[in-house]
Chains A and B, each alone.
Chain A
Amino acid sequence: MLAWTIYISFLGVAVLLALKPDDARGARIVAMLASVTGLLVALAGALQYSTDAGLVTVADKPWIPQLSIRYTLAVDGISLTLLVLTGIAAVVGVLFSWNIEHRTKEFFAFYLALIGGVYGVFLSFDLFLLFVFYELAIVPKYFLIAIWGSTNREYGAMKLALYSFVGSTMVLIGLLAAYVTAGGNTFNLVELAKFPFPREFQMWAFPLVFVGFAILAGLWPFHTWAPTGHVAAPTAASMLLAGVIMKLGAYGCLRVAMVLFPLGLGEWEHAVLGLSSWREVFGLLAVIGIVYGAMVALVQKDFKFVIGYSSVSHMGFVLLGLMTLTTIGLSGAVLQMFSHGIIAGLLFAVVGRMVYDRTHTRVLDELETMRLSKVIPFAAVTFVVAGLASMGMPGFSGFVAELQVLIGAWKAFPTFAVFGGLGVLIGVAYTLRAIQKAFFSGEDAPMNNHPTEHEPKFNPISTPERVGAALLIAITLLIGLYPKLLLDLIVPALNSPLMSGILKVGAP
């Protein structure tokens, strides 16, 4: 049944293409229907899934028998978590793009194609199929940003497309080499993971595939597409970029690179510059990403760039969690993928939709003069809540996730954990700075509550915006207060035989 998440999205694309070009209302409704159905299917799948079921095959049919490529869809707890995240992000994204009037039909067609591709990646267990869906998601991104974006959109879109494509090329080289080395008999992840690739092979294939995916996860120093892309993108697209696309990268790192080539994480014969394995290299890069992203976010003039760099910082936690190679660190990483997807979506929604679509500026110095907390109080409250969640306030999902990552990292590499904690601190600083500058500064208003002459008037916050924001806040609170909901899915998946190779390298 879960396969329908993919089919429904592409069906939505087909229906949209058949609509009349100027039927904006119809396009919105179709997009909404498709994304809500997708979410419901994903949720139903997650509820039906019993936590000890292991890997459940959804579909398995021969696709290209000459090359032993099969159409294999399967889920475990990790995929389910991310499927639900995709569903939520899709629905909320439609809510926050309700006001798109320019070429509405095409917008939602690209949007649903992107969503369909993402569902496909999270479901595929045949690596060829996974790659097909992974690349399928690149092209819609380009058009979403280039056509409907704002600041420097063509540059941002092209940069994003090229970074993604270079990453996927590296992945393809690694996958081809692995497939050929294993005899060309199967592309199934589970089967390939059983093949004993020589250690030297894994030592070059692992970093190749890992970096290929990690480019999309915002690994420093390959993160530069992320801030420009996020800023240039229209609101829904930046929500998806931060919410789901970056997770594609992180998911690929875990599911493909680490599962296929666990020995690539092992120690080298010689230490280079004090680092003795790829694991330490990537751990270091992740920590640099955390601290660097946070520090750069601290000095941004553009509101959206603050959020863009904060994404780089938060995704650093995911990558750091992956490199801990312990159950707690890995489960923290997966939880952080989910949590960041929700929180970043909320932040981008406030900045892109609630603020920018009304003020038409994102420059913090200009926003400062607008006293937005008075003018659009809903946006201010939402952003404060989202900011709290983002800086890791207990009770929100980000806290649980980052705490787990840090605990895991403390066991694996204590120094990195300390710097990671430092990143959290800077996170508090840039979030508070953004809140203060964007919403709570400017001259004190006269004591009466009537708007004065020079006070800008904006459209009130619309219902779709309220619903979307409420939904996201509710979810981050729910997971923050009761993380067991997701951890019960994630932890058994991490303890499955598929992942045993990774954990073995982590705890020899």
Chain B
Amino acid sequence: MNYSELLAFIVPETLLVLAALGALLIDLTTMRGRPLNERMKWAMGLSCLGCGVAAAACFLGAETTPTGYLDGMFVFNPLTRLVKIVILLLTAITAILSVDSKFTEHVGEYFALLLLATVGMMFLVSSENILLIFISLELLSLCLYVMTAFNKQNIQSAEAALKYFLFGGMAAAFLLFGLSLVYGLSGEINLTKIAAKIAGPKLDPLLVLALLMVVIGFGFKVAAVPFHLWAPDTYQGAPLPSAAFIASGSKVASFFILAKVMIVGFAGAEGSGAWRGYLQGWMPVLALVAALSVVLGNLAAIAQTSVRRLLAYSAIAQAGYILIGLLANQRADGLASVLYYVTTYALTTLGAFGVVAVVQERTGDDKLSAFAGLSRRAPLVSFCMMIFLLSLAGIPPLAGFFGKFFLFKSALFIQGAAQPLGLLWLVILALAMSAVSLYYYLQVLKQIYVIEAPTGAESAKVTPLARTILLLLALAIVILGSAPNLLLEPLTSAIKAAGF
């Protein structure tokens, strides 16, 4: 093994670690005793710089790792590059959205954790080796637990973190157990080699057990029913930027690795979740999880009065939609639809959390009633929120609509199929539930646009930076929705280049 070669491949990750250490260092030395606001700005600037440089390094590092390099421990190809750039972008936006928050005095630690979590995601994305997948996943999770608990004045934050940690620890145990069974069955830790070993006409019962455990482990990360219990509390209790990060960046990375493990690692054990065409494998399991998530997420969201909880249940429902894309018969198509959806979804959620931050800053509350009459006081922010929520509801021409369409199309489309439209049951369920979802998104928009503002409410203050970011996010949603090619084109070519 040649260390200098490896170091050349992991330049972006290294740069990001340096940025994390740098943020920690300057906050504890030069910025010591300065006002919070200023420290936040510096740390944010450094984090964004780190993300930018790392993204540039990803972009310029054109070389791809040779096949079989380090037994799949580190894979760098056009696809992982693209996903890494998306993750870095999401981290940078999270950092910018954090800049006005006042939940902590420990600025340097917070931003260092944010960047370290990102490093975890980047390794996670780059790995095709179950050992390293588990380690990166733990690096990511540990950072997220701490970030959730970061608001020490708020007991909700601690409760959320504990809940998140306990569920997370349990899920990690399941995942590890599942992966160890896989290793025991195949004697391999590389996804491609595992697939070659376990493929066969009949599935080993032990493998089915392993599959279930792996699905539990990842199901927790992506907050799919029935492993979703942590999500509402974490989304509500965590400091707002942490919650936004959990809902965006971490979702992208988790869905990508879930897709990779399932599609590459368990190729040959797919089975089928088609109506009256059940075949043992991971597809029927995921189909069931998707169906449950879509139904429970959407129905539970109706009853919420806190917008952050509402976003949490909506995230559960969205996870269900995304899982449907994984059931695609043509895996390139399925992967493209999953990545398109999860990317646009992450941008949308970040925007929605950004608006919630604006409101919470002003009223100290994230209740639905806190949004009353927002459009009269902050027309631009309200308009952005309308775009975010309508995109989540899947109204064209926003990104959420095309994303859903593409997911469902990929799930249904089977070239020359013996059983066409086998997954139609799931698509019908998902579409019916998305009709339900319009109701609760409209409830929020009703508060913003229809209800009169309580008397005496002053106009909301939005910093120019936050406003610019929100506007850019809204613009991105509109553009990606009306010209999906802009993202789809690089995605499909990267997926093709990565050999799917």
Contacts and interface: CB of A to CB of B under 8 A. Distances in A.
Contacts of A147: 449-450
Contacts of B438: 161-162, 165
A176 B402 CA distance: 12
Interface string B414-457: 00000011001001100110110011001001100110000000
A158 B412 CA distance: 31
Nearest to A158: B442
B405 to A, nearest CB: 8
B485 interface: yes
Interface stretch (B143-151, B268-276, B389-397): B389-397
A66 B488 contact: yes
Contacts of B450: 143, 146-147, 154
A139 to B, nearest CB: 6
Interface residues of A, number: 35
A405 interface: no
Nearest to A153: B450
A132 B401 CA distance: 9
Interface stretch (A77-85, A166-174, A217-225): A166-174
A67 interface: yes
B449 A177 contact: no
A176 B396 contact: no
A448 B416 CA distance: 85
Given A176-B412, A181-B420, A131 B396 contact: yes
Contacts of B390: 139
A263 to B, nearest CB: 17
B485 A136 contact: no
B396 A179 contact: no
Contacts of A146: 446, 449-450
B421 A136 contact: no
Interface in A308-360: none
Given A136-B395, A169-B431, A64 B409 contact: no
A456 interface: no
Contact of A135 (B395, B413, B442, B485): B395
A66 B446 contact: no
Contact of A169 (B413, B435, B442): B435
B421 A181 contact: yes
B421 A169 contact: no
A158 B485 CA distance: 34
A237 interface: no
A136 B396 CA distance: 6
Interface string B478-493: 0000001100110010
B488 A64 contact: yes
A143 B449 contact: yes
A135 B401 CA distance: 10
A298 interface: no
B439 A158 contact: yes
Contact of A21 (B379, B397, B432, B484): B379
A142 B412 contact: no
Nearest to B379: A21
Contacts of A479: none
Given A142-B442, A154-B450, A184-B413, A165 B397 contact: no
A64 B485 contact: yes
B408 interface: yes
B406 interface: yes
B333 to A, nearest CB: 9
A146 B448 CA distance: 12
Contacts of A136: 395-397
Interface string A133-166: 1011011001100110000001000100110011
A162 B435 contact: yes
Given A135-B396, A138-B395, A176-B427, A166 B435 contact: yes
A21 to B, nearest CB: 7
A64 B401 contact: no
B438 to A, nearest CB: 5
A58 interface: no
A150 B438 CA distance: 23
A90 B401 CA distance: 27
Contacts of B431: 169, 172-173
Nearest to B434: A169
A445 interface: no
A65 interface: yes
A110 to B, nearest CB: 10
A195 to B, nearest CB: 13
Given A132-B401, A143-B450, A169-B434, A162 B409 contact: no
A132 B489 CA distance: 21
A180 interface: yes
A448 to B, nearest CB: 46
Contacts of B413: 180, 184
B439 A67 contact: no
A495 B383 CA distance: 46
A165 B437 CA distance: 10
Nearest to A177: B421
A449 B428 CA distance: 66
Nearest to B394: A135
Contacts of B442: 142, 158, 161
A172 B395 CA distance: 12
A132 B396 contact: yes
Interface string A426-461: 000000000000000000000000000000000000
Contact of B409 (A17, A67, A135): A67
Given A131-B396, A135-B401, A146-B450, A179 B492 contact: no
B424 A177 contact: yes
Interface in A274-314: none
Interface in B338-384: 375, 379, 383
A132 B397 contact: yes
A448 B397 CA distance: 62
B403 to A, nearest CB: 12
A184 B390 CA distance: 27
A162 B412 contact: no
Nearest to A110: B449
A172 B405 CA distance: 9
A176 B409 contact: yes
Contacts of A21: 379
Interface in A180-199: 180-181, 184
Given A64-B484, A64-B485, A135-B395, A176 B408 contact: yes
A143 B375 CA distance: 12
A161 B443 CA distance: 12
B395 A139 contact: yes
Contacts of A64: 402, 484-485, 488
Nearest to A168: B435
A332 to B, nearest CB: 33
21 contacts: A64-B484, A67-B409, A132-B401, A139-B395, A143-B449, A143-B450, A146-B446, A146-B450, A162-B438, A165-B435, A172-B431, A173-B427, A173-B431, A176-B412, A176-B427, A177-B412, A180-B413, A180-B421, A181-B420, A181-B421, A184-B413
Given A139-B395, A173-B424, 11 more contacts: A64-B484, A64-B485, A67-B406, A135-B395, A136-B396, A147-B449, A166-B435, A169-B435, A173-B427, A176-B408, A180-B409
Task: In the A-B complex, list the 5 residue pairs whose CB atoms are closest, starting with the nearest.
Answer: A132-B396, A180-B412, A146-B450, A169-B435, A165-B435
Interface of B: 336, 375, 379, 383, 390, 395-397, 401-402, 405-406, 408-409, 412-413, 420-421, 424, 427-428, 431-432, 434-435, 438-439, 442, 445-446, 449-450, 484-485, 488-489, 492
